[in-house]
Amino acid sequence: MIRVKDWLGRTSIIPPQAHEGLILIISMLAALLLANSPLAYLYDIFWEEAVYFQFASVYTASFTLKGFVNDGLMTLFFLLIGCELKRECTEGSLSSLKKVSLPLISGIGGMVVPALIYVGVYFVAKSHLAEPPSFQMLHGWAIPTATDTAFALGILGLMGVRPSLLIFLMALAITDDLGAIILIGAFYSENWNIMGMLTMLAVMFMLFVMAKKPVKAVFPYALAGVLLWFATHSANIHTSLAGVMLAAFIPINTNKKEVEQSGGSPLFKIENFCKPLVAFVILPLFALANAGVNLSQVTVDSMMSPITLGISSGLFLGKPIGIMIFAYLAVKLQIAHLPFGATWRHILGVSLFCGIGFTMSLFIGLLAFNNEEYIQSMKVGVLLGSLLSVTVGTIIMQLRKRLHKHKAAEAVP
């Protein structure tokens, strides 16, 4: 294992993503515990408390506390994803065709196959069940296409896998995140408001001018981000896109001398500000607010729901099948090559960890369904698929590690 620095600059042998993954696990378990305890009623009431926001006495936004976390605070999560995407495409693991080929092609497979499995489960259920599933269930087809980057990287980081695999998983997860963002914008925003869209375009033009100048202070971008969030919400476009659109306009300075003199580019400063806030506050709050499932309501019938089966099989089976097939084709056609020192067993293990949908899958699921019964089935499917992916992925990676140690021991005379 290599030594890395955490968000506070301290040297550690555990990557920072591992800490994020552990906190998410704790938050998820806390939500499950509260939802199945005598405090379940208070847990539900707390997240339904009303929150109001008013902008310049012109526009008012009202949410439940859960809605504020999902539609308000999670915008910073998508801002961070947008910043990471921009940085990786500029100078990181997605900065050249050679680097991006395998994770991009594999990521497409990891989105297409889970979606097809979900749709397949729906139509099989429609053909064979006495009570065919409603068409609304089909709205969840995008749920198993996502990967929870923090969870997957965190668990792999704790296992001490080689850095090239962590980089591959990160690039693959970022590709999935980009795909999920496109799906949210294309399929989960409706009844667009023209005035809101015009306002949003005006704010984006202002950001374009700021980026061209370029404005190097962070505060103007933060202020423009608030304006963009209100405009996006007013336009009835999901506010997660406001974070990504803001990141697209924030300058990233690749001139090392200027970066050292200014203490970092605006994108670098915003990304460093958002990382600990998202990792240790926003994502745990999201998990605490949304991962609570009343297990007493989970029956054999509910486990056999097309939603639960479609999501869990899409994550657990669809992810590794799609990633492995597309990666194999890309390598055999010499479009891409395997990460340094990696074998196909490594890729299989990584592809299974991509079945940890959790945060992004829950997020898309809450956009896809407004029926409480469907939401419960969705949560069970996400948790079940993610748990199976973690368990089998860990077994495969550990077996691979033991096999490597055994061969190394035999090689010693």
| 380-391 pLDDT tens trace | 999 999 999 999
Interval 195-209 mean pLDDT: 92
Share of the chain above pLDDT 90, in %: 33
Give dist(CA 73, CA 71) in Å, integer.
6
**Which band of pLDDT confidence, cut at 50, 70 and 90, is reported for residue 309?**
very high
Q: How many residues does the chain have?
A: 413
Which residue is listed with tokens 């001398």?
257
In angstroms, the CA 233 to CA 54 distance is 12
Q: What is the mean pLDDT of residues 166-184?
A: 80
pLDDT in tens, 23-56: 888 898 999 999 999 988 999 899 988 877 776 6
Instruction: Name the residue with higher pLDDT: 58 or 68.
Output: 68
Say if residue 408's pLDDT is above 60. Answer: no
How far apart are alpha carbons 60 and 282 in whole angstroms?
Answer: 23
pTM score, whole prediction:
0.81
End-to-end CA distance of the chain: 26
Give the C-alpha distances (Å, rounded to integers) separating 169 from 15, 227, 325, 352. Answer: 14, 34, 16, 11
> Distance between CA atoms of 149 and 386, rounded to whole angstroms?
12
One-letter amino acid of 89 = C
Distance CA 287, CA 289 (A): 5
Query: Does the pLDDT of residue 276 top 60, yes or no?
Result: yes
* 136, 368 contact by CB (below 8 A): no
Residue 111 clears pLDDT 90, i.e. is over it: yes
Mean pLDDT, range 223-245, rounded to an integer: 88
Burial of 377 (0-12, 13-18, 19+ CB in 10 A): buried
Distances (CA, A) of 400 to 167, 346, 354, 394: 19, 8, 18, 10
* Rounded Cα–Cα distance for residues 378 and 380 (Å): 5
Contact 107, 318 (CB under 8 A): no
- Helix then strand count (H, E) for the chain reads 19, 4
* Percentage above 70 pLDDT, the chain: 86
Decide if 368 contacts 405 (C-beta within 8 A).
no
pLDDT at residue 334 is higher than 50? yes
Exposed, middle or buried by CB within 10 Å (0-12, 13-18, 19+), for 280? middle
**What is the CB neighbour count within 10 angstroms for residue 266?**
25
Query: Which pLDDT score, from 0 to 100, does residue 34 have?
Result: 93
CA distances, 13 to each of 152, 166, 303, 390 (Å): 17, 14, 40, 22
Contacts 24+ apart (CB under 8 A), 295-299: 295/32, 295/35, 295/36, 296/36, 297/376, 298/376, 298/380
pLDDT at 182: 79
Q: Which two tokens stand for residue 254?
A: 């690749």
Whether the predicted pLDDT of 13 surpasses 90: no
For residue 3, pLDDT beyond 50: no
Using CA atoms, how far apart are residues 270 and 246, in angstroms rounded to an integer?
A: 11
Tell me the Cα Rg of the chain: 22
Looking at the predicted structure, is the pLDDT value of residue 163 above 80?
A: no
